Structure 1
Amino acid sequence: MFVTPAYAQAAGGAVAGIGQFLPIVLIFGIVYFLMIRPQQKRVKEHKAMVEALRRGDVVVTQGGLIGKVIKVKEDNEIEVELSEGVKVRVVQSTIAQVISKTEPAKD
């Protein structure tokens, strides 16, 4: 007589268990589409911008320095001229923005 109510309560437990995970899955989906995916898109755009740098481009570094690209080196460095005679080496990934692009050389 005492066993019957216990079996009746346990029968609906499987459906309730799946229902408890649904809000967690929904929250993860919302976080992915509102935070993770846009950040990945920005990283991809920044990488494409950095790879497209060439001599003569005017750039802004993350430190706020504005200068003209003098030389693009192969080891992820570029040489930027801040003013006449003042040249600095900058890591490519620290370029925040390209202000003006130069036209590619015509053959």
Structure 2
Amino acid sequence: MDLLLLPLLLIAVFYFLLIRPQQKQRRQMAEMQRELAVGSKVMTTAGLIATVAAINEEDDQVELEVSPGVTNVYVRRAIARVIDSPVTDDEISVDTPEGEADEAMAEADDATPDAAEKKPENQANDAESR
């Protein structure tokens, strides 16, 4: 009787430690892929980061926009994870008007020393050390 109990116990432990977590992960992945929305930023299993441009439910494919105007078609299972949720135009808010942002960038550029001004000093120091 004890000899039969040990193999059954090992099978139960194997199931709860290995098989069940994999099933849970597979369900979560399938749910994430089912809930994809246009505009979501995603990463594929190959590491490509892109934005979902279109979803073809019939063929189970997604069209990913890699850069503006450049799209690729992938099977839905190739999506490894969603990086962020889709952003709609209503959610976008701009805190700084464009003119003020440009002025702030110009001031920041004026505050940093030019690399060209530092370069001759570094070259002179290098020549002296040789």
Common fold by TM > 0.5: yes
Separation (CA, whole Å) in 2 of partners of 1:105 and 1:38: 39
Q: Which residue of structure 2 aligns with residue 43 of structure 1?
A: 26
Q: Distance in 2 between matches of 1:76 and 1:105?
A: 27
The alignment of Structure 1 onto Structure 2 pairs a total of residues equal to 89
Offset at residue 104 of structure 1 (A): 7.6
The aligned residue for residue 101 of structure 1 is: 85
Q: Structure 1: which 5+ residue stretches go unaligned?
A: 1-17
Which runs of no fewer than 5 residues in structure 2 stay unpaired?
91-130
Contact 2:40 2:87 in 1 (8 A): no
2:64/2:71 contact within 8 Å kept: yes
Q: Given the alignment, which residue of 69, 73, 79 partners 1:89? A: 73
1:43-63 Cα distance to aligned partner (Å, 9 max, x none): 110011000001000000000
Moved over 2 A (4+): 103-106
The two structures have a TM-score, normalised by structure 2, of: 0.64
C-alpha change, 1:54 and 1:105, in structure 2 (3 Å) is farther
What SS is found at the alignment partner of 1:68? strand
Answer yes or no: is the 8 Å Cα contact 2:38–2:53 preserved in 1.
yes
The residue identity in structure 2 corresponding to 1:70 is: A
Quote the sequence identity (%).
Answer: 36
Separation (CA, whole Å) in 2 of partners of 1:95 and 1:82: 14
Tell me the secondary structure at the aligned position of residue 60 of structure 1.
strand
Cα deviation digits, residues 31-54 of structure 1 (max 9, x gap): 100000000000110011000001
Specify the code of the residue in structure 2 equivalent to 1:89: V
**Residues 9-51 of structure 1, C-alpha deviations (whole Å, 9 max, x = no match):** xxxxxxxxx2211111011010100000000000110011000
More strand by share: 1
Q: CA RMSD in A?
A: 1.7
